[in-house]
Chain A
């Protein structure tokens, strides 16, 4: 079946601009996660959705970052007034049954969106 998809695959923007990154999770997965990966580092957690609500947004670096998942499926990560330090690969993942510890707790990742802020 189809995996997690993310659009666009690459986004180049200028400092101060607003960007939106989209994630389409695997159909039927209730949980959705956003991570950010800087060059040479492992992915870092940003936010977790269970259904439509953000269950944990403690990883968002500041209030310029915001994410929504209005219908419990597609999610959009929004970044206002972008800064050069926001340049990274933004990864989305989904899982069917979070917190179970079993195979249905596995997170499946998309290919990521590479954001470059000039």
Chain B
């Protein structure tokens, strides 16, 4: 699976949009982009995933660039409860493993 690069940490003001970037320049055509987050002392939580098109669900939006070499996770109205480590993972659909990096620690400030 392709390797991903994320900033170590980011800050966001409560109520504002949080935009978390991820670079995956070696992604292959059959690899999906997954986002998980992990709130302190909890297990990872699935957020969203996509292949080529932008995706939106009740939690977030995923914007994938046309060349698929990078993506952005958008939390439209961040709350204090969104403070967590966010992991961007690239995975082939046929590959069952999730390979986690160190992720981005997002801190939402009041």
Q: Give residues in A with beta carbon < 8 Å to B.
A: 4, 31, 33, 35, 40-45, 48, 55-56, 59, 91, 93, 95, 98-102, 105-112
Contact = CB atoms under 8 A, between A and B. Distances in A.
B42 A99 contact: no
Contact of B87 (A42, A56, A99): A42
Given A4-B43, A42-B103, A48 B97 contact: yes
Contacts, number: 59
A82 B87 CA distance: 30
21 contacts: A4-B43, A31-B96, A33-B96, A33-B98, A40-B102, A42-B100, A43-B98, A45-B97, A45-B99, A48-B96, A55-B96, A56-B96, A91-B44, A99-B93, A99-B95, A101-B32, A102-B93, A106-B49, A108-B46, A109-B45, A110-B43
Contacts of A108: 46
* Chain B interface helix/strand/loop/mixed: loop
B76 interface: no
A50 to B, nearest CB: 8
Interface in B21-49: 32, 41-46, 49
A55 B51 CA distance: 26
